[in-house]
Structure 1
Amino acid sequence: MHRSEWTSTRIADVLRSMVYGVDFLCHPKGDPLPNDRSSYAAVVVAGGIEGSMRDTERWPWLMREIAWLKALIEAGDRPMLDLCLGAQMIATAFGSEGSPRPDGLMELGFFRLS
C-alpha cells in the first residue's frame, strides 16, 4: 500500500470475506518490508501517485521496494496481485520501463507472468 489512508479497499474486503487476515504496510511512510514471508499467503501491491520509476530522488523508497518485489517474484513462493504502480515497479525490476501512458488513458486487464 502506498497511501496510509487506503486501509479500506475492495480487495481487502474480499480477502477478509474469504477469512484471510490482511496486514497493511505503507513502505513510503516508513513501514519496513517483511523479510520473513512465511506468514503471508499472498502479496497485493497497490497503486500510488508517484507515476515515474525514474524519480528516485523524490521517491527514495521506490528502489528498495522494487528490489524487494524482484526478490519475492524470483523466490516464486507467493502469488501476487500488482495494481497500477505495483505493475510498473515489477516491469522496472525486470528491466522494462514502467510509466503512465502519455495519453493519460488507463488500461485494464489481468496478465499472468511467468
Structure 2
Amino acid sequence: MHPPASAPKTKDRGKIAIVVHQEHSRPGRVGALLERRGYELHRLCPNLGCELPEDVSDYAGVVIFGGPMSANDCNMDGIRRELEWIPKVADQGVPFLGLCLGAQLLARAAGGKVGPHPEGMVEIGYSRIEPTDAGRAVFDGPMHVYQWHREGIDLPETSELLASSEHYAVQAFRQGERAWGFQFHPEVTLEMKEIWTVKAAERLKMAGAHQRGVHLSMHSLFDPPLGRWIDGFLDGWLASKVTPAS
C-alpha cells in the first residue's frame, strides 16, 4: 500500500485489538510489526468466551486472524458475535484488517457470501495474485502470497475488489475507507509454516494443496517481498483512523 502518511515507528502508540480463534493462535509477523511500532496488542478470543468491546474508539486498529472454522458457523457463539461486532468497528472509524477467516467474516458482515470452490479446489501453499486496476494502489504488481483456506468469498456490491488468483476471484478487497480483507496470510512465519504443515498435514492431501516441502522451500523466495509489502501496508492502514474533533 502507498500510505497517505506514515505511522512513525515509535513507542507507546496505543493498543490494537487482535482477535484469534484458538488458544494456541499467534499473530505472527503482523503482531511483531505492530509491536515494533510501539503498539500494545490486546488479545481477544471470543470462541473461548472473551467479550468483544462495544466501544473500540480507543483502539488504533482491529485485526481478525484466521482459524479452522467457517465464517458460516453461526452456531458457534464466537463466530456469531464477531459477525455482529465487525460493523461496529467501522462505524467508530477504527481501521479493520481481516486475514483469511477474518476477511471472510468481514465480507459476510457486509452482506457477502462464503463457500467452497465449485470444483473442490483449495489454496494451501503459495499462489500468485494479480491486482485489479483499483488494487494497483495497494499492490505494485503480481505477488506470490501464502494461503491456507478451502472456502472463498463472494463480495457484496459495496466492496471493492483489489486482487484475484487463478482459483479464487477474491484475494483482497476493501469495505469502505478503513476496512480491508486479505484471503491470504501475510502474518505466517517460517516457524508457523513448519507447525501448520505437521499439525494439519491431512489438509495437504486436498485438491490444490502443495506438499510440505514446497511450502518450506518456497519461503525464502516468496516471503521477503511479502514481508516488505505488509510492513508498508500497515503504515497506511494505521494512519487511516478517524481522529475525533476536540
Any gaps of 5 or more consecutive residues in structure 2?
A: 1-19, 130-144, 146-170, 177-246
Evaluate the alpha carbon distance shift between residue 100 and residue 25 of structure 1 in structure 2; reply closer, same or farther with a 3 A threshold. Answer: farther
2:106 paired with 1:51: no
TM-score (norm 2): 0.41
- What is the aligned-residue identity percentage? 32
Aligned counterpart in structure 2 of residue 68 of structure 1, from 85, 88, 108: 85
Runs of 4+ in 1 over 6 A off after TM superposition: none
Tell me the secondary structure at the aligned position of residue 115 of structure 2.
Answer: coil
TM-score (norm 1): 0.83
Q: Which has the larger radius of gyration?
A: 2
With CA pairs under 8 Å and 6+ residues apart, which has the higher RCO, 1 or 2? 1
Any gaps of 5 or more consecutive residues in structure 1?
A: none
The residue correspondences of 1:20-99 to structure 2 (distance < 5 A) are 20-53=39-72, 55-57=73-75, 59-73=76-90, 75-99=91-115
Evaluate the alpha carbon distance shift between residue 95 and residue 112 of structure 1 in structure 2; reply closer, same or farther with a 3 A threshold. Answer: closer
Q: Which moved more, 1:24-33 or 1:88-97?
A: 88-97
- Aligned residues: CA RMSD: 2.0
- Checking the alignment, whether the CA contact within 8 Å between 2:70 and 2:101 is kept in structure 1 is yes
Structure-1 separation of matches of 2:84 and 2:71 = 16
Give, in angstroms, the shift of residue 64 of structure 1.
1.3
**Relative to total residues, which structure has the larger strand share, 1 or 2?**
2
